[in-house]
Amino acid sequence: MSVVRIASVYASLLGTYGDGGNVAALVHRALLHDIHVEVIDVTPGLVLPRQADLYVLGGGEDTAQVAAANALRTDGGLTDAANRGAVVFAICAGYQLLGEHFPDATGKPAPGVGILDITTNRLPKRAVGELAAIPNEVNRELGLTQILTGYENHAGATHRGSGVEALATVRAGTGNGDGTEGSVSGRTIGTYLHGPCLARNPELADRLISWVVGRDLPTITEPEVEALRQERLKVVLG
Ligand code: GLN
């Protein structure tokens, strides 16, 4: 029986708005599919595991975000992981720091890890509120069919380079700031969706797990989750 190894990266620096719940949601969905998981909690100062299958990063305050980006660049393990095809899933600050640069607390560009060809600067106005977005239906690897729902709280506008696709198209909210939301490149996904994102979007959780195990997973719908999704979508889409 294979085990999906999930690295929860620097949750004490990158875990605002309940983003730690993404790892809990992955564990929950994997167990629903009878897939065994092991969670490796990587606290700041520890070396990133080189053998994990899925690396999860959450959102964070500006200063914590700079500290996390610097530590990750020094460690080098996340870049190696992305290069060898491991899955990387990152929210908000974690998303921004995967790019080339993002604003520090004073607004000056701080260097990111450079895994994604994206750059982030300041939005004219902070984006706070519910976010709903239609998933990229062109990317067949992604293969998402359900509208993505969550909430955002960030000051960053994120610009994608030519090799990076949008994760989704915004229906309500701000996302990247240009009508798109999030980024996907290979098996690296970044998004502004908090919620926690994977608790509110189990199809996305299943996709990340399916990339690791190398097969599609059957659809399992949980009524409580579906009810929450519909309630939240109604708030923003009517
Ligand atoms: N510090 C970043 C910003 O404000 C990310 C915020 C977050 O992770 N919620 O844009």
| Gyration radius of the chain's alpha carbons | 16
Ligand 1 center from residue 61 Cα (angstroms): 6
* pLDDT given at position 132: 98
Cα–Cα nearest to 236, from 144, 171, 148, 155: 171
pLDDT at 74 over 90: yes
Distance of CA 153 from the midpoint of ligand 1 (Å): 7
* pLDDT tens digits, 29-63: 999 999 999 999 999 999 999 999 999 999 999 99
Distance (angstroms) between ligand 1 centre and the Cα of 219 equals: 33
Does the bond joining 196 to the residue before it have cis omega, within 30 degrees of 0? Answer: yes
Nearest CA residue ID for atom 1, ligand 1: 62
Q: Give the contacts of 21 (CB within 8 A, at least 6 positions apart).
A: 195, 196, 198, 199
Question: Span 64-78, mean pLDDT?
Answer: 98
Structural domain span for residue 70: 3-237
Mean pLDDT confidence for 111-119: 98
Active site residue 194: yes
Q: Write down the pLDDT at residue 140.
A: 87
Ligand 1 binding residues, C-beta < 6 A? 16, 59-62, 65, 92-93, 153-156
Residue 27's pLDDT is 98
> Which residue among 62, 119, 125 has the greatest number of ligand 1 atoms within 8 angstroms of its CB, and so is best to mutate?
62
The predicted structure's pLDDT at residue 138: 85
Q: What's the average model confidence in pLDDT over 208-219?
A: 97
Number of domains in the chain: 1
- What CATH code is carried by the domain that includes residue 212? 3.40.50.880
Ligand 1 site-directed mutation target among 96, 106, 123, most atoms within 8 Å of CB: 96
| Ligand 1 site-directed mutation target among 9, 16, 61, most atoms within 8 Å of CB | 61
> Annotated catalytic, 92?
yes
pLDDT of residue 2: 79
Could you tell me the pLDDT band of residue 114, with boundaries at 50, 70 and 90?
very high
As a whole number, the mean pLDDT across the chain is 97
- For the cut 70, the answer to whether the pLDDT of residue 1 exceeds it is no
Which candidate, 32, 37, 41, 34, places its Cα nearest to that of 7?
Answer: 41
Helix axes 202-213, 21-32, angle to 10 degrees: 70
